[in-house]
């Protein structure tokens, strides 16, 4: 059973870079497709970006200039960097699996709350 | 971006009721729609994909359908465990987008 776990700082200062890691256990990260999705408190879900098996990526145009998703297959992890954060980036950040490259998500991490505040 | 509009925002129903949630896409998305259930403090759970395909392990009281750009999630007999927020997601084209959610409450 594949499990996902997000980790990273819960508090980030404005203008700094938010960095999160998703650790995958119970399966190889190279076997699936992955995404980061966020949810501001009390609001709807927002797709951030996608990591293909090949290692290529695709990002939400609204965040593209600030987002980088990368993978470390040796650690079975993938990461999110979001630069120049503001209070609007305060959200629960989820990593999620796309089993077959169909672009919906069948397995999610528990989520981690990141607050942007000085 | 494709806008996904859900209705109602909140509904309250009794155990055993048939419940219907609607999601309308701002343009054609074929059948590329998923439904998720989210309980407080938890991650979303996939219920339905490709508009009407039931995810493995999801109770058969959940069903999905499509009519043009309007999609429906139906709970045939509402159970206490179904109290949650339900979201639709289109995956026809980037960026993938979600509806604003429908909160289902048990009377």
Instruction: Express each pLDDT in B42-90 by its tens digit.
Output: 999 999 999 999 999 999 999 999 999 999 999 999 999 999 999 999 9
Name the residue among B107, B103, B87, B97 with its Cα closest to residue B44.
B87
pLDDT band with cut points at 50, 70 and 90 for residue A79: very high
What pLDDT digit, counting tens, does each position of B23-51 carry?
999 999 999 999 999 999 999 999 999 99
Q: Are A105 and A78 in contact (CB under 8 A)?
A: no
CB contact residues (below 8 A), chain B span 58-97, against chain A: 87, 89, 91, 94-97
Q: How many alpha carbons fall within 13 Å on the CB side of residue A14?
A: 5
**Strands laid side by side in the B19-25 sheet:** B4-7, B19-25, B70-75, B62-67
- pLDDT at residue number B47: 98
B32 and chain A in contact, CB less than 8 A: yes
Which residue among B34, B95, B97 places its CB closest to the CB of A104?
Answer: B34
Backbone angles phi, psi at B51, to 5 degrees: 70, -35
The predicted model gives A23-35 an average pLDDT of 95
pLDDT at site A54 = 86
Q: Which of B43, B46, B100 sits opposite A94 (nearest CB)?
A: B43
Report, as an integer, the average pLDDT of A53-81: 95
């Amino acid at each position: 059973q594949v499990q996902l776990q997000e980790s990273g700082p819960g508090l980030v200062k404005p203008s700094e870079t938010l960095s999160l890691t998703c650790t995958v256990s119970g399966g190889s990260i190279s076997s699936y497709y992955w995404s980061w999705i966020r949810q501001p408190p009390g609001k709807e879900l927002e797709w951030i970006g996608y990591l293909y098996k090949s290692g290529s990526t695709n990002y939400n145009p609204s965040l593209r200039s600030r987002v980088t998703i990368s993978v470390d297959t040796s650690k079975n992890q993938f990461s999110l960097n979001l630069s120049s954060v503001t209070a609007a980036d305060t959200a629960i950040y989820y990593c999620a699996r796309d089993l077959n490259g169909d672009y919906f998500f069948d397995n999610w991490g528990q989520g981690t709350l990141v607050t942007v505040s000085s | 971006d494709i806008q996904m509009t859900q209705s109602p925002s909140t509904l309250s129903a009794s155990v055993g009721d048939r419940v219907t949630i609607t999601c309308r896409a701002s343009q054609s998305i074929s059948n590329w729609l998923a439904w998720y259930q989210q309980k407080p403090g938890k991650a979303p759970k996939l219920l339905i994909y490709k508009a009407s395909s039931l995810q493995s392990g999801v109770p058969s009281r959940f069903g999905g359908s499509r009519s043009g750009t309007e999609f429906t999630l139906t709970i045939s007999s509402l159970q206490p465990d179904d109290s949650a927020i339900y979201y639709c997601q289109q995956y026809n084209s980037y960026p993938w987008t979600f509806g604003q959610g429908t909160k289902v409450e048990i009377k």
